[in-house]
Amino acid sequence: MEIKTIQIKLQDRSWEQISLVNDNGMVVTFMEFGGIITEIIVPDRDGKKENVVLAYKDPEQYLTNPGYLGALIGRVAGRVQGAAFEIEDKVYHLDANEGDNNLHGGETGFHHVLWNIDTFVRDSELGAKLTYRSKAGEEGFPGNLDVEVTYTVNNNNQFVIDYRYVSDQKTPVTLTNHTYFNLSGAAKHTIHNQELKIDSNCFLELDNQLIPTGRLIEVEDTSFDFRKLSRLDRGFHYDYFQNKVANGGYDHYFLFNDEKHGSAVMRDESSGRILIVETNQPGVVMYTSNNLPEGLELTEGKTDKYFGVCLETQGSPASLHHANLPSILCEAGEKMHKQTTFTFEIEKH
């Protein structure tokens, strides 16, 4: 096992890029800026090791990062309707950075934070602890929020993200990671033929602004039924109105059947790679890069529609306006812990 660190130098600033390498040669690389994941290198069925996440070719792109590639997202992942919410009869107004709404915590959300990093090596795992204090009023959110995110890689080819946080005032929090997966390796193919299974019987309806209406729709007899492994492109050209509002794909919150142990499986037949996602988050946003800005230079080619899929395990910000969803409110002094594990396996011939 090994931890490698290099300095990324830009015109007016620099930051560290850290690689976590296990005994099998699996590599997870991230930056202290935004906690951004730029590489997850795992083998295919023939032993060829390739990057299975999207990353910009030029690090300067991360200063704006319009697609939120690989980033830690917070305080609140997703869209907050009207960039406002109410707690105990007091209305809080947030940065409206996407039309009238707040997206992914605002313009200077956690994806633009320079995190403090402490690395560690243990018997069969290694990792890094990322810490940050989000001060009261930052982006309009109440309370001083202390956040600790730990990235761990072990010798079972698992990448674990632990989110721990505590606030001195009642405040909404739901953190996630916005990595785009493409299991073909080096983004050789789009995700059309890659398959996904989600342990979910229902998803949240979206309006034309991609804001959840609060209505839960059963997946049965729709293009959102991923209870068995199904190709991702089943909804790309489907006439279903929910695929249409997402620009011909998915950008939807699936509520797990077990809110304390959710799971999803992604499979790429061409490479034999399998990704298993397990979490204690209540749901997952599945986003198939339908609105990813096109033509941005990546380490492998240029961005295009359906180039990757995000599996954003999280609570839903819609719970701030709809009481039928699991709450994302964190009480003052309440110590919260959420975890998501990404396990990489190989399917033999």
Residues with a catalytic annotation lie at 178, 312
Rounded Cα distance between 212 and 209, Å, is: 9
Rounded Cα distance between 132 and 138, Å, is: 12
Strand 180-181 versus strand 79-80 pairing type: unpaired
**Residues 240/222, Cβ–Cβ less than 8 Å:** yes
**Residues 173/314, Cβ–Cβ less than 8 Å:** no
**Residues 306/249, Cβ–Cβ less than 8 Å:** yes
3-state secondary structure (DSSP) of residue 285: strand
308: closest CA among 53, 111, 44, 34?
53
Rounded Cα distance between 13 and 36, Å, is: 16
* Count of alpha carbons within 13 angstroms of residue 150, beta-carbon side: 17
Write out the two tokens for 53. Answer: 């996440």
Q: Which residues contact 146 (CB under 8 A, 6 or more apart)?
A: 131, 133, 134, 165, 166, 167
